[in-house]
Amino acid sequence: MISVSSRLQETKEYYFSKKLREVAQLKKQGKPIINLGIGSPDLAPPQEVVEELIKATQAPGAYQYQAYKGLDELREAMCNFYQTHYQIRLDQDQEVLPLMGSKEGIALISMAFLNEGDEVLVPNPGYPTYQAATKLLNAKLISYDLTQENSWHPEVKALQKLDLSRVKLMWINYPNMPTGETADKEKLQELIRFAKANSILLVNDNPYSMVLTDEKFSIFQMEGAHDVCLELNSLSKSFNLAGFRVGFLAGNSEFISAVLKVKSNMDSGMFFPIQKAAAKALNLDLSWFARQNAIYKNRRSLIWDICDSLGLEVNKNAVGLFVWAKIKSSGSAEELADELLYDKDIFVTPGTVFGDNGANYLRFSLCVSEEKLELCRERLLKPKAV
Ligand SMILES: Cc1ncc(COP(=O)(O)O)c(C=O)c1O
């Protein structure tokens, strides 16, 4: 018998990979499922980006291997994006690295910095990939609490009580997914001081900074971040390019070259037309985001109404691509999510997918048209079939 590695026995299949199979099965049976579960933007990417992509497919050398660090033009566009939106200057040769999505970056960073047995601080609730990457490397997961009471920010005082001697890395994610919480700069400044004092690499995963936010946040706006932080960014949500697989990493040259060392052994560069098109996207002006956000705002208010009709509580100051709604009744998140799926043909994500601190929450995606959201509202008004 050929057995899989022991690290895989510790790793579960990604929740959505499994659940979406069930949803697809229900659809095949004719169920008119509306998917509010997943954050895959349904809106079209910028037209000029698509045109650039097509044009670049005809360029000489377009189908050859590409540089591990990406095109100069792409790294320049990434730095330009940081300068324009966050007022952060990055060196395009040393402080930025194109990635095939920020999810890839989570694995690469973990491989670049973790030894077996090192400890990693992971948010609960949080994006499940931080955990998975940690486990795949036989590093040890230390989950830290994010709660509504601490406004979904890590409590430095609680972290200081832990044995930190083996902690090497800490994941944070502001604007936060799934809670939609914006960055509290004072708290994050304290966290950076904590990371520095304990030689912990602090990584901010930042794919939602352009969605429904007033202020555009980057960890590098904070004092001292350059010394201990890395930041992942992504074109997936900002430009409706999730399937394109373009993200990037920003940070000091030492950290970036460590990640590049891993990456150059894992892939052989990004398809040339994708790089050209990504550069085009990153150089777009603010009007692109204004148009997107106007649509998301309308959808969000419809989801707030849906939550209201379900007796769920929402934070109207939250940002990002999801509504994180608190269940006030006694049922669990999974029960309520299943009830919506099987009785109303509405797929939402139970908060437990992100950790047990999500046990009383449901997550609704804004990647659904107003028409479909209206339909959800109608379905919820109809009495339950018996
Ligand atoms: C918090 C968070 N980080 C990273 C990702 C991955 O994004 P990408 O498409 O850039 O890999 C997601 C995607 O949903 C996410 O929610």
Give tens-digit pLDDT for 159-191.
999 999 999 999 999 999 999 999 999 999 999
More confident residue, 16 or 106: 106
80, 137: one domain: yes
| pLDDT range class, residue 157, cuts 50, 70, 90 | very high
Predicted local distance difference test score (pLDDT) of residue 385: 59
For residues 88 and 80, give the distance between their C-alpha atoms in angstroms, rounded to a whole number: 9
User: Number of helices and strands (H, E) in the chain?
Assistant: 14, 13
Predicted local distance difference test score (pLDDT) of residue 71: 98
Predicted local distance difference test score (pLDDT) of residue 330: 82
For residues 18 and 16, give the distance between their C-alpha atoms in angstroms, rounded to a whole number: 5
The CATH number of the domain where 37 resides is what? 3.90.1150.10
Q: Average pLDDT in the 69-89 region?
A: 98
Residue range of the domain that includes 323: 6-45+287-381
Ligand 1 center to residue 102 CA distance, Å? 6
Structurally, how many domains does the chain consist of?
Answer: 2
Ligand 1 atom closest to 127 (CA)? 1
214, 295: one domain: no
16, 157: one domain: no
Predicted local distance difference test score (pLDDT) of residue 357: 96
Residue range 290-313, pLDDT digits in tens? 999 999 999 999 999 999 999 999
Predicted local distance difference test score (pLDDT) of residue 10: 66
Residue 10 structure tokens: 């510790």
82, 40: one domain: no
Mean pLDDT over each residue of the chain, to the nearest integer: 95
The beta-strand segments (E) located in 207-350 are: 229-234, 247-251, 312-314, 322-327, 346-347, 349-350
Place of tokens 């148009």: 291
Q: Average pLDDT in the 253-273 region?
A: 97
Ligand 1 atom closest to 38 (CA)? 14
The CATH number of the domain where 171 resides is what? 3.40.640.10
Predicted local distance difference test score (pLDDT) of residue 381: 87
Report whether residue 204 contacts ligand 1, using a CB cutoff of 6 Å: no
Q: Is the pLDDT of residue 12 over 80?
A: no
Q: Is the pLDDT of residue 383 over 80?
A: no
Picking from 237, 260, 284, the residue at the C-terminal end of a domain is 284
Picking from 227, 254, 284, the residue at the C-terminal end of a domain is 284
- Residue whose CB lies within 8 A of the most ligand 1 atoms, among 40, 100, 127, for a mutation test: 127
Strand order in the sheet with 312-314: 312-314, 322-327, 361-365, 349-350
Q: Average pLDDT in the 117-121 region?
A: 97
Ligand 1 atom closest to 245 (CA)? 9
Ligand 1 center to residue 265 CA distance, Å? 23
Predicted local distance difference test score (pLDDT) of residue 113: 98
| pLDDT range class, residue 6, cuts 50, 70, 90 | confident
Q: Is the pLDDT of residue 377 over 70?
A: yes
Ligand 1 atom closest to 321 (CA)? 16
If one counts every other C-beta atom within 10 angstroms of the C-beta of residue 222, the result is: 20
Q: Is the pLDDT of residue 386 over 70?
A: no
φ/ψ of residue 364, rounded to 5: -110, 130
Report whether residue 101 contacts ligand 1, using a CB cutoff of 6 Å: yes
Q: Is the pLDDT of residue 39 over 90?
A: yes
Predicted local distance difference test score (pLDDT) of residue 14: 67
The answer to whether residue 199 is domain-embedded is: yes
Picking from 264, 284, 304, the residue at the C-terminal end of a domain is 284
DSSP 65-83: ---TT--HHHHHHHHHHII
| pLDDT range class, residue 108, cuts 50, 70, 90 | very high
237, 292: one domain: no
Predicted local distance difference test score (pLDDT) of residue 1: 87
Q: Average pLDDT in the 20-41 region?
A: 93
Report whether residue 247 contacts ligand 1, using a CB cutoff of 6 Å: yes
Percent of the chain predicted with pLDDT > 70: 98
